[in-house]
């Protein structure tokens, strides 16, 4: 069933009278039902979405609707939506309903966006393939035998398969950008602290970012503009003014001005890069040069330390954050208990999946008194070095180009027995999270099997306006 691929197309269709917002919502609902085998949505708010569409259509008729009237969103199952289920892809939160709405979600609702449902994801956002969900894997619409990437796999496939206009995902180490690359859509990870994390079920608090997954750069810019900014509920969010991203990207002449761009040498020359990814990188470099930009190779001296640093720190933070899920106050409680201690142990061992258990245990280990300085403290120091080196690199170059992943989507089950191979899939995305800088994944064609290829562009802190404008320009060059 056909559905418009961008917000502007939805608005044009409604304005022309060729459809109405309730009809558009019903189209998305049919697409969800017809493609149920992809296992994208954990819960669909069908009646609520149609009722909201009817209410907002009336506002549109009267000229009083918000900026997002006509936008139908899916949200990753780690974002709170008051009086709706939240499980973070886990059994441990069985039956839990949110008592409040995440700030980012509420700001979109305030502008008359419609939430159509919550989307499947790796449990507590821990994974790179969406195979770690307690509700089964999500399947890639380009080839259902393959993964969609993770952890925001359901969010990416929903946009890819026309189940909603856009999705909200979260990115801790690439969980918006890598699925976007695998599914041929656009995924934006903003600067850390650009969007409030209030109402986000935490995985690793100093890394987690909320980001949009869309079909167009314009939609990503608009969603970021509305979600970003100061929030009294989150003491870590930035108070920097929020630019009008949606207007900034319209200045095509400025975006096309010659830029100094670096490309990660390892992202082009490494033997681990699939030939199709390497070819897409080279093609993008050539197109940028032809467009008048300066494009030079750059080496990142700490690339071998990024993944170990990321996993040590995120597992430590996960160990701390997930200690609150104990079967006492809410969620799953094991029925096979005899006393308080057994309730804690059994509820957590039965409620958490194997990947989450592994990360909690490793995180607890690196935080233990005997190993805290040997692992956690050293990883924090290396993180600071990575941040400094990234900052220096981005002072020299306005943008850094690199793959979003070393391969295209792999088959379901292919890497589940090889955790190192799975972790290495994040090798190019985690730098932006460790350093806290913004990065965007853009579709750049397909491989020999017809699977989407995504490349990534990174820029300095709080430069989303420039990044989005450049992304729009990059897409216009024909690299996709």
Chain segment 224-256, per-residue pLDDT in tens: 999 999 999 999 999 999 999 999 999 888 888
110 close to 66: Cβ distance less than 8 angstroms: yes
Active site residue 175: yes
Q: Where does the pLDDT of residue 78 fall: very low under 50, low under 70, confident under 90, or very high at 90 and above?
A: very high
352 close to 360: Cβ distance less than 8 angstroms: yes
pLDDT at position 419 is: 85
Q: How many other β-carbons are positioned within 10 Å of the β-carbon of residue 383?
A: 22
Q: Where does the pLDDT of residue 478 fall: very low under 50, low under 70, confident under 90, or very high at 90 and above?
A: confident
Average pLDDT, the chain: 96
Active site residue 98: no
Catalytic residue among 151, 246, 319, 463: 151
Active site residue 396: no
Catalytic residue among 90, 133, 152, 175: 175
Percent of the chain, pLDDT > 90?
94
Name the residue with tokens 């981005």.
Answer: 394
Catalytic residue among 76, 259, 346, 415: 76
**pLDDT > 80? residue 2:** no
Contacts of 250 (CB under 8 A, 6+ apart): none
- The pTM (predicted TM-score) of the whole model is 0.97
**pLDDT > 60? residue 138:** yes
pLDDT at position 373 is: 95
Q: Where does the pLDDT of residue 1 fall: very low under 50, low under 70, confident under 90, or very high at 90 and above?
A: very low
Kindly state the average pLDDT of the residues 125-152: 97
Q: Where does the pLDDT of residue 454 fall: very low under 50, low under 70, confident under 90, or very high at 90 and above?
A: very high
Q: How many other β-carbons are positioned within 10 Å of the β-carbon of residue 418?
A: 10
451 close to 199: Cβ distance less than 8 angstroms: no
């Amino acid at each position: 069933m056909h559905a418009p691929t961008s917000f502007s197309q939805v608005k044009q269709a409604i304005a022309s009278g060729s459809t109405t917002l309730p009809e558009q919502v019903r189209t998305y609902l049919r697409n969800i039902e017809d493609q149920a085998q992809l296992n994208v949505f954990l819960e669909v708010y069908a009646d609520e979405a149609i009722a909201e569409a009817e209410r907002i259509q009336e506002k549109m008729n009267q000229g009083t609707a918000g900026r997002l009237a006509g936008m139908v969103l899916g949200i990753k199952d780690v974002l709170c939506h008051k009086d709706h289920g939240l499980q973070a892809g886990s059994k441990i939160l069985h039956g839990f309903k949110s008592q409040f709405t995440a700030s980012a979600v509420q700001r979109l609702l305030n502008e008359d966006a419609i939430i159509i449902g919550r989307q499947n994801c790796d449990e507590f956002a821990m994974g790179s393939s969406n195979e770690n969900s307690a509700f089964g894997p999500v399947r890639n619409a380009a080839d259902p035998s393959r993964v969609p990437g993770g952890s925001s796999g359901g969010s990416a496939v929903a946009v890819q398969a026309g189940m909603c206009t856009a999705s909200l995902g979260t990115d801790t180490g690439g969980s918006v950008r890598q699925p976007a690359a695998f599914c041929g859509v656009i995924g934006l990870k903003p600067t850390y602290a650009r969007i409030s994390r209030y109402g986000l079920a935490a995985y690793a608090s100093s890394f987690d970012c909320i980001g949009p997954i869309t079909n167009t750069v314009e939609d990503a810019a608009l969603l970021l503009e509305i979600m970003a900014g100061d929030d009294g509920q989150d003491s870590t969010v930035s108070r920097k003014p929020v630019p009008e991203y949606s207007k900034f990207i319209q200045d095509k002449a400025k975006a096309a001005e010659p830029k100094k761009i670096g490309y990660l040498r390892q992202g082009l020359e490494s033997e681990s890069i699939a030939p199709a990814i390497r070819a897409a990188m080279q093609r993008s470099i050539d197109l940028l040069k032809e467009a008048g930009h300066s494009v030079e190779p750059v080496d990142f001296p700490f690339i071998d330390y990024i993944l170990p640093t990321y996993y040590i720190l995120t597992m430590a933070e996960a160990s701390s954050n997930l200690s609150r899920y104990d079967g006492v106050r809410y969620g799953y409680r094991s029925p096979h208990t005899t006393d308080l201690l057994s309730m804690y142990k059994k509820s957590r061992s039965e409620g958490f999946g194997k990947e989450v258990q592994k990360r909690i245990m490793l995180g607890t280990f690196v935080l233990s008194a005997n190993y805290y300085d040997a692992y956690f403290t050293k990883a924090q120091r290396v993180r600071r070095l990575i941040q400094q080196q990234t900052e220096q690199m981005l002072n020299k170059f306005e943008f850094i180009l690199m793959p979003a992943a070393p391969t295209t989507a792999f088959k379901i089950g292919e890497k589940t027995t090889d955790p190192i191979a799975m972790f290495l899939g994040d090798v190019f995305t985690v730098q932006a999270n460790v350093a806290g800088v913004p990065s965007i994944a853009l579709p750049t064609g397909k491989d020999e099997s017809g699977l989407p290829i995504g490349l990534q562009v990174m820029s300095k802190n709080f430069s989303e306006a420039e990044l989005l404008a450049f992304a729009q320009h990059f897409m216009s060059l024909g690299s996709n």
